[in-house]
Structure 1
Amino acid sequence: MSALTSICDEMILRLSYCPNYVHEKYSADSAMVCFTDIPLRFAKEHCAKFGKFGIGFKKQKMIEYGANPALYTTGNHLDRIKKLAELLARMEDLEKDREWKQDIEPYLFTEDETVAFQEVTDFLQEYSYKNNDLSDYVTYYQREWRLTFRSLPFAGDTKPHEPGMSCFYSRDGKSHRAFKFSQEDVEYIVVPIRYWWPAKKLAHKMNCKLKIYEISVRT
């Protein structure tokens, strides 16, 4: 409950690095916030893995900020993903010192095209855990959505950190990437029934609905 309260008080989500096994040479070097759009009543298995506390964001608001479903890839397409990763690596290498190299090296792509490639590949996710497509655990069923650091407008320099923007913030001497949201982005919070009283006060403060896990999720 304390973590949920802290997130709601600050209205900040810390971005993390999502494990990605699309290819052994594919570096999951993009920070992101991950969501699911599994209807709450069907989320028993998901909650068993990720917890019974949560924030239900308004999907349309997240889409406006840049959220997108993960792009799931089966094992049959890993060779193609490898080629894409190799091409992107070459493009990123050429982007280094573009200003002084452009007069002596032909550029057949723009900087914006490189950024677009980076942002799209940030949404890659394997269909099944570690590409074991015969596994009982299929990551595709998580119905994952992502907001990635690279695709969010950055509140740097003198820009205020407004909802829908990313920034760096420091805590305990460490720098973290973060995403700012507002009360208007939140539809509900969900908690186990034993936390209903503090959650009721928190929901009132956030001006959102309160949902109780044991009532809202089919068990």
Structure 2
Amino acid sequence: MSLSSNTIIHFTQTSDALKGILQDNFKMKYCHENVLLDSELNYAAPMVSFCDIPLSQIKDHIGKYGAYGIGLTKEWAQKNKLNPVLYLQANSYLSKSIYDTYMDILPKQVEWDKITTSQKNLLNILRHVKNYEADLSRGGEVIKNYRFSDEREWRYTPSYEDCMQMAIDPRVYKSEEQKINTNKRLENLRLEFEPNDIKYIIIERENEISEFVEILKKSKGNKYSYNDVERLMTRIITSEQIKTDL
């Protein structure tokens, strides 16, 4: 059995969030990362994350990241320049090399309108770095020594041209209001997909199917044709099915 699939899946906690994606594509938001290199590196970067896990192995991921999701083809991911993240073991030679390069090249206070090509390239690498293993906090619970590499994450991060502030200090949003205001900088950015790119629509329960079919039918901009809706109806599966049947 393959350890990865031909589909990458984005999970979310609520049905409203999934409906928003189906109607208006993926929106960016700043996500906080605490990467353990030679020392801790804290940053928040605009991104959308996906996992590359076969449905038969996805049960634990649903429990941590939500019962709603959308799966898209790897061809779509490659066309839109997504990439698997680089998992780093803390205190490894590679971690130290990346941290030392970060300390050498990036100033403590980045002037975004004067940033060099080398600095942009390094920031783009750092935005695709993640802990191989560390503590995971989800819903007020802390899972010790969680192996992030099991998620096989793929990540989309917008270019400097689309979003000048490629990474920020997460301390700028100490309150929920500050976090909302920070993410407003990204409100016009989208990661787009077409109906033919969709492999799965994952919802929590079977009794929600008709509700999501109506969302597809009424989607603004006539994004989904009658034939698209007919085809996508066959691609709706439930988290209940995944947990019990796969």
Which residue does the alignment assign to 1:154?
162
1:181 aligns with 2:192: yes
**Please, which of 6, 12, 21 is the counterpart of residue 35 of structure 2?**
21
Pair 1:200–1:115, CA change in 2 (3 A)? same
Q: Per-residue deviation at 1:172?
A: 8.5
SS in structure 2 opposite 1:18? strand
Q: Per-residue deviation at 1:4?
A: 1.3
1:71/1:124 contact within 8 Å kept: yes
Q: Which amino acid aligns with 2:203?
A: V
Name the % identity.
Answer: 19
Q: Deviations over 1:27-74 (max 9, x none)?
A: 323211111011122100000000110011222112221110110000
Q: Per-residue deviation at 1:144?
A: 0.7
Which residue does the alignment assign to 2:3?
none
Which residue does the alignment assign to 2:213?
200
Which residue does the alignment assign to 1:160?
none
Which residue does the alignment assign to 2:240?
214
Q: Per-residue deviation at 1:148?
A: 0.8
Q: Distance in 2 between matches of 1:49 and 1:139?
A: 12
SS in structure 1 opposite 2:184? strand
Q: Per-residue deviation at 1:76?
A: 3.1
- 1:41-120 equivalences under 5 Å are 41-77=56-92, 78-90=95-107, 97=114, 111-120=116-125
2:83/2:156 contact within 8 Å kept: yes
Which residue does the alignment assign to 2:147?
138
2:67/2:239 contact within 8 Å kept: yes
Give unpaired runs (5+ residues) of structure 2: 1-14, 137-143, 165-179
Pair 1:155–1:183, CA change in 2 (3 A)? farther
1:4/1:53 contact within 8 Å kept: yes
Which residue does the alignment assign to 2:9?
none
Q: Which amino acid aligns with 1:112?
A: T
Q: Deviations over 1:136-159 (max 9, x none)?
A: 5211111111101236x6299xxx
1:14/1:176 contact within 8 Å kept: no
Q: Distance in 2 between matches of 1:86 and 1:139?
A: 25
Q: Distance in 2 between matches of 1:97 and 1:183?
A: 36
Greater relative contact order (CA < 8 Å, ≥ 6 in sequence): 1
More strand by share: 2
SS in structure 2 opposite 1:30? strand
1:30/1:122 contact within 8 Å kept: yes
Larger mean CA deviation between 202-211 and 76-85 belongs to 202-211
Q: Which amino acid aligns with 1:140?
A: S
Q: Per-residue deviation at 1:94?
A: 9.2
- 1:122-133 equivalences under 5 Å are 122-130=127-135
- 1:30-45 equivalences under 5 Å are 30-45=45-60
Which residue does the alignment assign to 2:139?
none
Bigger radius of gyration among the two: 1
Q: Per-residue deviation at 1:117?
A: 2.0
SS in structure 2 opposite 1:54? strand
1:88/1:118 contact within 8 Å kept: no
Q: Per-residue deviation at 1:187?
A: 2.4
SS in structure 2 opposite 1:21? strand
Q: Deviations over 1:149-174 (max 9, x none)?
A: 236x6299xxxxxxxxxxxxxx9896
Larger mean CA deviation between 114-123 and 46-55 belongs to 114-123
TM-score after normalising by structure 2? 0.64
